[in-house]
């Protein structure tokens, strides 16, 4: 049974039984505490917790998920994957335990010819929470399971909660027994891979209190509404029904594994280590494909970092299989072909995804080349010092700074006959993880408990009237201070205000929230921020400037008209520049992110090379022509499918409902789904000044522009600068470029003459330095302090010139000087001196130790220094003593 068929059977089964079929949400989670959608229930959390009223009594979905907690286990077990699909059915105060158990058993055990999954009843076990006698009774009566295939387990495995005060409840898990060939008898309680968990039924019926861990919290009582949240693992069911050994061999994953095997010339199943690497590649390439299809781009933080890590682990695994050449073109095409039957949007976005993947691969292969050079130097220095162990901090720097995988460091060090101080490396990695966790925890701690908004949201949605007007009368529905609902906020306090209506725009779609105020009898509130903490609810963060505000008070929202006008100009300019980019570069230049506020906008777009000056000029001109032509700006509200049929662009990272707002500028020239505020016609945007274009990733660029009055001010400042230069240089404006170029050429010529004079002056010192040569042990030595010099390069030039004069001898040249207030030392040796045992790098380290710094280099030429210039004579004497020894 193909995986896409399992998906179809699931949705048909529950759809036929009154469940609303909900499409998979994006892998990019709306929950600010999550990087990704990590479980099938995540999009339904507001309904399950009661924060937002559920729009349907029961629902079903096949949700795309990403989890990276167990990334190191990928490929090693039959069931760990970063990307997976969770089939879920949900009840919001509708059916409960009996319905959930009945549906699960029917779908699992019905024959495939009847639309079921065809599992044999004898192979299925269940676990229940140890005190849940009701669930045991239902499993016996509905499924006819005998006592020996129902196991009671504790809270650590069979009790669900979010980890925080809120909804909780027992759960029941369904397992498939793979048979004695896969492990020991004893059922799921043995925690053996023989028993594969395929379905988890959560009975959400209690309210839990404070506590940590999985079983040290108090149950406060029953929830007002009992909910069902279930999840069936698609990949696990697929590998069991397809008769393969693990999730990496199912129809949606195996083609990538086979492609990796073919490219490497190694056979899957012949070597355990190679098998793990092939499974890692298959999993990570599929996960990366799905993430990039949902708009994630490689980067150095957050979601982008996770994606980059998956891509680089894939490249590393291919290298360990013996493939050094680029491989993503083949691997990603194999994954596209395997996944597009279930997710047709993959094909639609594949050109963009492929460019991202190939660009990241090319960049990382260059990184590997650079990292290899750095590692080679570190290996040489380690061997020179007589050590057999590469320092852990070196391995960590390679990993952390250059993205050089530790496995590759271990492999290359072993080839050079060295081990790696893995204990030190692991300690540094642990410290880094601890810092990251502490940072994440501190950020998560700043997020309000969303349950505080539940009662307000239950009263209805906030009506946003700001498209048509800047002021409106409303009433205060709620006040939140410090995450707690209160009745009053007093002068000087910062609070969140919930209103029935508002004209103040909440931050979304890349547009900052409005500036403005909320006023009423006896109070004046300055609006600091406006957000939508839960769907449909506006929260205004305010500072009480005067008086006190109470729940139930009448209030008037007032948007700052200057701010709104400038913000609307900037948002409309974002649409104009996006359309101009696509007109200039083609449809592949697709927006991947944006930010705009009054007078300023930036737009990120998919493109893998810098824009030329001519292209930037063309982009700016097209944008300002659109402003000049006074194109009509029209907004319409329609169904999502109708909007897409008209060609309206949906942007990555945005979540759209069934009804959407379409913004046209010049008709179809710019047609996007957008909830932001906009001008009435393009002429109202005013001037657009493109101020920068830069890279924000291997296949993403960013343009920034000033808009309206801010653009005029930028041009006015540049005009004043040109006028000042023209006056100071006594040159007409139209001749300034030539005049400045002439001055630059004159300056360069003068610098060249000065360098020649300085070189001549230094050359004059060489004979006198050569004359100081004196024997020290087995070599002849020049060891001199030269006072103050302009640069270390001058010191190096002198040392190499003196060494050249003494090249026929076993000579060592040690010159020191004060450069920019610090001590610098250069050591140069002739071939005969090196044969006698004099090594420049070692001698430079001796001198640098006295000077309070560090140094080193090759045997023929090395450099060092320190902060104590007064210690130069002592440093030279230390070198002489070393040579005499």
- The binding site consists of 571, 575, 674, 678
Residue that has been written with the tokens 């006819």 in this structure? 144
Take residue 408 and report the two structure tokens written for it.
């590759």
Give the CA-trace dihedral at 351, 357, 361, 367, to 10 degrees: 120
Residue 363 φ/ψ, nearest 5 degrees: -65, -40
Classify 245 as helix, strand or coil.
coil
Three state DSSP letters for 88-106 = EEEEECCCCHHHHHHHHHH
On the CB side of 298, how many CA atoms lie within 13 Å of its CA?
26
CA separation for the pair 815, 823 (Å, rounded): 11
Burial string for 432-459 (b: 16+ CB within 10 Å, else e) reads eeeeeeeeeeeeeeeebebbbbbebbee
Ramachandran region of residue 295, left (φ > 0), alpha (ψ -120 to 50) or beta?
left
Q: Strand 124-129 vs strand 150-153: parallel, antiparallel, or unpaired?
A: parallel
How many helices (H) and strands (E) the chain has is answered by: 25, 34
Strand partners, 784: 815
Residue of 783, 841, 842 whose CA lies nearest to 816:
783
Per 3-state DSSP, what percentage of the chain is helix, strand, and coil (rounded to 5)?
45, 25, 30
Cα 630 to the center of its chain, rounded Å: 39
Q: Residue 562 class from Cβ within 10 Å (0-12 exposed, 13-18 middle, 19+ buried)?
A: exposed
Q: Strand 166-177 vs strand 389-390: parallel, antiparallel, or unpaired?
A: unpaired
- How many residues would you count in the chain? 885
For residues 166 and 207, the answer to whether their CB atoms sit within 8 Å is yes
- Which residues make Cβ contacts (< 8 Å) with residue 6, sequence separation at least 6? 87, 117, 234, 237, 238, 241
Residue of 314, 261, 8, 243 whose CA lies nearest to 251:
243
CA separation for the pair 143, 128 (Å, rounded): 14
Take residue 709 and report the two structure tokens written for it.
């009055």
> Element (H or E) spanning 666, and its range?
none
Residue of 720, 715, 862, 873 whose CA lies nearest to 795:
862
Cα 768 to the center of its chain, rounded Å: 61
**Within the chain, what is the greatest distance between any pair of CA atoms?**
106
CA separation for the pair 44, 58 (Å, rounded): 11
Residue of 602, 630, 617 whose CA lies nearest to 706:
602
Q: Strand 488-490 vs strand 537-550: parallel, antiparallel, or unpaired?
A: antiparallel
Residue that has been written with the tokens 């319409």 in this structure? 636
CA separation for the pair 364, 375 (Å, rounded): 16
User: Measured at the alpha carbon of residue 556, what is the angle toward residues 552 and 561, in degrees to the nearest 5?
Assistant: 155
Q: Which residues are documented as binding site for Zn(2+)? A: 571, 575, 674, 678
CA–CA distances in Å: residue 803 to residues 211, 770, 783, 812:
74, 9, 12, 7
Residue that has been written with the tokens 């410090």 in this structure? 482
- Which residues make Cβ contacts (< 8 Å) with residue 629, sequence separation at least 6? 666, 682, 683
User: Measured at the alpha carbon of residue 781, what is the angle toward residues 777 and 785, in degrees to the nearest 5?
Assistant: 135
Strand partners, 170: 159
CA separation for the pair 552, 554 (Å, rounded): 7
């Amino acid at each position: 049974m193909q995986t896409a068929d399992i998906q179809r059977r699931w949705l048909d089964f529950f759809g036929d039984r009154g469940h609303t079929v909900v499409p998979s949400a994006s892998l990019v989670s709306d929950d600010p505490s999550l990087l990704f959608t990590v479980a099938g229930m995540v999009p339904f959390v507001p309904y399950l917790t009661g924060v937002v009223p559920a729009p349907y009594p029961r629902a079903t979905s096949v949700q795309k998920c990403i989890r990276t907690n167990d990334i190191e286990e990928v490929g090693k077990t039959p069931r760990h994957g970063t990307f997976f699909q969770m089939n879920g059915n949900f009840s919001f105060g509708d059916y409960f335990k009996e319905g959930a158990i009945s549906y699960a058993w029917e779908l699992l055990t019905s024959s495939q010819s009847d639309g079921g999954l065809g599992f044999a009843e004898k192979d299925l076990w269940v676990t229940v929470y140890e005190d849940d006698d009701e669930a045991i009774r239902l499993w016996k009566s509905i499924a006819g399971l005998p006592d020996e295939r129902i196991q009671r387990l504790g809270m650590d495995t069979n009790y669900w909660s979010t980890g925080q005060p809120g909804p909780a409840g027992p759960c029941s898990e369904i397992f498939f027994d793979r048979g004695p060939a896969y492990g020991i008898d004893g059922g799921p309680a043995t925690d053996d891979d023989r028993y594969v968990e395929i379905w988890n039924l959560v009975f959400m019926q209690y309210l839990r209190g404070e506590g940590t861990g999985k079983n040290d919290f108090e149950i406060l009582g029953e929830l007002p509404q009992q909910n069902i949240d279930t999840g069936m693992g698609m990949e696990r069911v697929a590998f069991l029904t397809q008769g393969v050994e693990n999730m990496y061999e199912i129809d949606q994953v195996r083609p990538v594994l086979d492609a990796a095997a073919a490219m490497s010339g190694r056979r899957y199943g012949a070597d355990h280590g190679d098998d793990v690497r092939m499974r890692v590649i298959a999993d990570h390439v599929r996960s990366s494909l799905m993430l990039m299809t949902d708009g994630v781009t490689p980067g150095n933080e957050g979601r982008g970092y996770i994606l980059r890590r998956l891509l680089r682990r894939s490249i590393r695994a291919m290298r360990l299989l013996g493939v050094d050449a680029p491989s993503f073109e083949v691997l990603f095409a194999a994954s596209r072909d395997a996944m597009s039957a279930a997710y047709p949007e993959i094909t639609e976005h594949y050109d963009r995804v492929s460019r991202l993947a190939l660009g990241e691969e090319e960049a990382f292969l260059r990184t590997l080349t650079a990292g290899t050079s750095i590692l080679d130097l570190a290996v040489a220095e380690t061997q020179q010092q007589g050590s057999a162990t590469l320092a852990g901090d070196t391995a960590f720097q390679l990993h952390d700074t250059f993205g050089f995988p530790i496995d590759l460091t271990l492999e290359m060090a072993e080839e050079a006959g060295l081990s790696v101080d893995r204990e030190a490396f692991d300690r540094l990695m642990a410290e880094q993880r601890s810092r990251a966790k502490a940072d994440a925890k501190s950020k998560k701690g700043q997020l309000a408990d969303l349950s505080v908004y539940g009662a307000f949201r239950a009263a209805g949605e906030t009506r946003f009237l700001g498209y048509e007007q800047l002021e409106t009368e409303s009433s205060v529905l709620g006040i939140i201070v410090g995450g707690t609902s209160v009745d009053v906020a007093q002068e000087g306090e910062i609070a969140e205000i919930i209103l029935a209506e508002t004209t103040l725009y909440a931050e979304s779609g890349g547009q900052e929230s409005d500036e403005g105020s909320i006023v009423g009898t006896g109070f004046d509130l300055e609006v600091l921020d406006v957000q939508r903490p839960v769907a449909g609810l506006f929260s205004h963060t305010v500072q009480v400037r005067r008086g006190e505000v109470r729940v139930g008070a009448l209030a008037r929202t007032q948007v700052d008209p200057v701010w709104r006008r400038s913000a609307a100009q900037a948002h409309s300019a974002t649409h104009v520049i996006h359309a101009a980019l696509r007109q200039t570069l083609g449809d592949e230049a697709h927006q991947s992110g944006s930010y705009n506020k009054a007078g300023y906008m930036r737009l990120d777009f998919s493109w893998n090379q810098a824009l030329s000056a001519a292209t930037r000029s063309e982009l700016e001109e097209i944008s300002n022509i659109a402003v000049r032509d006074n194109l009509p700006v029209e907004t319409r509200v329609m169904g999502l499918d109708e909007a897409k049929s008209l060609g309206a662009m949906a942007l990555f990272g945005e979540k759209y409902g069934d009804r959407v707002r379409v913004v046209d500028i010049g008709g179809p020239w710019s047609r996007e789904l957008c909830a932001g505020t906009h001008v009435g016609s393009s002429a109202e945007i005013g001037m657009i000044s493109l101020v920068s274009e830069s890279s924000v990733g291997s296949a993403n660029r960013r343009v920034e522009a000033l808009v309206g009055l801010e653009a005029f001010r930028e041009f006015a400042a540049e005009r004043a600068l040109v006028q000042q230069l023209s006056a100071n240089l006594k040159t007409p404006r139209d001749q300034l470029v030539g005049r400045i170029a002439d001055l630059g050429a004159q300056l360069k010529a003068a610098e060249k003459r000065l360098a020649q004079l300085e070189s001549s002056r230094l050359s004059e010192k060489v004979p006198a330095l050569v004359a100081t040569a004196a024997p020290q042990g087995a070599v002849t030595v020049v060891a001199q302090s030269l006072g103050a010099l302009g640069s270390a390069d001058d010191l190096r030039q002198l040392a190499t010139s003196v060494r050249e004069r003494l090249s026929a001898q076993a000579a060592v040249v040690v010159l020191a000087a004060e450069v920019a207030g610090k001590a610098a030392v250069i050591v140069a040796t002739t071939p005969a001196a090196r044969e006698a045992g004099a090594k420049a790098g070692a001698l430079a380290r001796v001198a640098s130790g006295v000077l309070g710094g560090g140094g080193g280099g090759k045997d023929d030429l090395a450099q060092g220094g320190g902060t104590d210039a007064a210690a130069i004579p002592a440093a030279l004497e230390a070198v002489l003593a070393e040579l005499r020894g």
